[in-house]
Amino acid sequence: MKVNVDYDLCESNAICMSIAPEVFEVRDDDLLYLLTEHPDPSQHDAVRLAVERCPRQAISIEED
């Protein structure tokens, strides 16, 4: 799995971070950071849920 973020769409509301904190992080500068483009398989379900819950649909995934 590869995670992509469209930073032009992202509002950095941290919903993804609350679902998958090992993959997404909103820092003190109020910007989203992708901690890994290729999460561990144990994190795939959480990443898929973060994609579904993103209010701006700024996150997408490519399956390997």
Q: Is the pLDDT of residue 4 over 90?
A: yes
Q: Is the pLDDT of residue 5 over 90?
A: yes
At CA 17, angle to CA 29 and CA 31, rounded to 5? Answer: 20
Confidence of residue 50 (pLDDT cuts 50, 70, 90): very high
Cα–Cα distance, 55 to 42 (Å, whole number) = 24
Give the predicted TM-score (pTM) of the model: 0.94
Full 3-state SS string of 28-56? CCCCEEECCCCCCHHHHHHHHHHHHHCCC
Q: What is the pLDDT of residue 64?
A: 81
Average pLDDT, the chain: 97
Backbone torsion region of residue 27, taken as left when φ is above 0, otherwise alpha when ψ lies between -120 and 50, otherwise beta:
beta
Q: What is the mean pLDDT of the segment spanning 20-48?
A: 98
Q: Is the pLDDT of residue 37 over 90?
A: yes
3-state secondary structure of 2: strand
Instruction: Domains for the chain: give ranges and CATH numbers.
Output: 2-62 (3.30.70.20)
